[in-house]
Amino acid sequence: MKRILAVGFGGMIGSLLRASIYVAFTGGMGLWLVNIAGSFLIGVAAIRLARKSVELRLVVSTGLLGSFTTFSAFSADWFHYLESSIWLGLAFAGSMMVSCIVSAAAGLWVGRREVPL
């Protein structure tokens, strides 16, 4: 039960942060910002929290960052672009995927540095 509550607590914070960014950045920029920043932070957390408690990892990675990033909003936008043009949809999906993977890799690299964040 403690682990489920940890995920729920982190999820509440992450979804509120995502909603705040969506309000501040309109026109699709919010989606890009949360997915790229979230991917970076997941990379950092994977390294920095590896030896921490399971509950802390669940709060940060699964709860907070899992609800902060959003695959469902990505999917909705992707379908919108696909309706306009298959090429636009493929470019959107490919660029989002590459951006998030590069961002997560950068987070892993930063997480391995000895400098505190």
pLDDT at residue 71 greater than cutoff 90: no
Residue 13 lies in a domain: yes
Residue with tokens 């306009």: 84
Q: Are 58 and 6 in contact (CB under 8 A)?
A: yes
Which segments are annotated as binding site? 66, 69
Which segments are annotated as binding site for Na(+)? 66, 69
Residue 48 lies in a domain: yes
**Mean of the pLDDT values across residues 57-73?**
91
The model's pLDDT over 14-41, given as tens digits with 9 standing for 90+, comes to 999 999 999 999 888 999 999 999 999 9
Work out the pLDDT band at 48, boundaries 50, 70, 90: very high
Residue with tokens 């995927």: 97
Give the span between the Cα atoms of 107 and 64, in whole angstroms. Answer: 16
Give the pLDDT confidence score for residue 45 in this predicted structure.
94
The residue segments making up the domain with residue 97 are 2-112
pLDDT at residue 96 greater than cutoff 80: yes
Residue 117 lies in a domain: no
pLDDT at residue 115 greater than cutoff 70: no
Please give the tally of structural domains in the chain.
1
Residue 60 lies in a domain: yes
CB-based burial label for 15 (10 Å; 0-12, 13-18, 19+): middle
Residue with tokens 């920095």: 48
pLDDT at residue 114 greater than cutoff 80: no
Instruction: Tell me what the pLDDT averaged over the chain comes to.
Output: 92
